[in-house]
Amino acid sequence: MSRRLVKEFAAFRRIWDKREVRKMGKHLTKADRIKLEALLKAGHGKKEIADMLHVHRSTIYREIKRGVYTALNSDLTQEERYSPDIADDKYRENLKSKGGVLKIGNDIKLANYIEDKIVNKGYSPAAVLGELKAQGKEGEFSVTICVTTLYSYIDKGIFLQLTNKDLPVKANKKRDYKKVKRQQARAAAGTSIEKRPEEVDKREEFGHWEMDSVIGKRGVSKNTLLVLTERKTRDEIIFKLPDKTAEAVVDALDALERKWGGMFKQVFKSITVDNGSEFAYCEELERSILGEGKRTQLYYCHPYSSWERGTNEVTNKMVRRKVPKGTNFDGMTDAEVEAMENWINNYPRRIHGYHSAGELFEEELKKIG
């Protein structure tokens, strides 16, 4: 390594030691690009550089591609090198090249914010802008844009890191469910959903949940996910189960009762499930392990009527954004399951005026005291 490169890398290390580094999720600055150049010259790999700059390795690959140029060596051979100046110029030109036509070109800070939320946090364009308004943060930026305009910018390739591939899958056309007549007989051993109180149906009262299983790769994944969704707030609880059995579901609910203790009956007043075999142990699911009597009331949907657990169905789509169909759950850690649960509960929901389910859930808990 040449003496000049050693000095450059030493200078970078001094900056690093002073903690003049970016926070995870933000975009590369001009200073970051200079550091990137020094690290590349020092022979560091792209994954190692990504870790040192606190970004995903794909960001480093895109950044290098943006700033690459062909250099002529003294022996007349050519090689590709990275230029922080070229990369930074392209970054700014991409947003400002159309001048007044693009409002967002006048606010690089807003562009960075949007890219971070969608690329790194998994937000939809509507969720990004809706959360800004709900939290009163629009004033932190010099311009405002609407959802339609944001989609247009993404389609036109205005952003450097954000493309249509980063957007959540567009919702399919609403399914035309054929509702089962209320008088139809039901095969489950528990209480029919027909007897569920009206206030539960209308989501007027807190503490009523829907429960479902999300399965992994068929024939490979033995582990499954048990998901519970509170009907009023849409708050989500996710368990990783060893298998899709009734015993495993009972164990999960027992663990949940131990966690909540005396508050369990107030927070989990009822749970609506389908007729899957994993929910067959109605008596064991309803009975309390901490005292006499029931801990909750189970209601069973009609066969082939997933629309009766509509909250579950919608939230399961969010689960699938993190673990697509065909994912093997056996290798998932508890930390990964918890991170997915937190992401869902912190996600700004249009139905809540772009406040999160977690916010509303905490408000309901405060009412209980």
Asked if residues 107 and 141 have their Cβ atoms less than 8 Å apart, the reply is yes
Buried b (16+ CB within 10 A) or exposed e, 142-172: eeebeeeebeebbeeebbbbbeeeebeeeee
Class in CATH terms, 191-368? alpha beta
Amino acid at 33: R
Q: Where in the chain is the domain with CATH 3.30.420.10?
A: 191-368
Asked if residues 52 and 39 have their Cβ atoms less than 8 Å apart, the reply is yes
The average pLDDT across 214-241 equals: 95
Residue 185 sits at the vertex; the CA angle it makes with 187 and 293, to the nearest 5 degrees, is 60
The average pLDDT across 205-219 equals: 94
Report whether pLDDT(9) > 80: no
Write down the pLDDT at residue 77.
81
Q: What is the pLDDT of residues 331-346, one digit of tens each?
A: 999 999 999 999 999 9
Write down the pLDDT at residue 118.
93
> How big is the chain by its Cα radius of gyration, in Å?
26
Distances (CA, A) of 123 to 32, 35, 78: 25, 29, 42
Cα–Cα distance for residue pair 165/118, rounded to 1 Å = 11
Q: What is the pLDDT of residues 18-32, one digit of tens each?
A: 333 344 445 688 888
Write down the pLDDT at residue 95.
60
Amino acid at 159: F
Q: Which of 58, 158, 63, 151 is nearest to 107 (CA)?
A: 158
DSSP 181: P
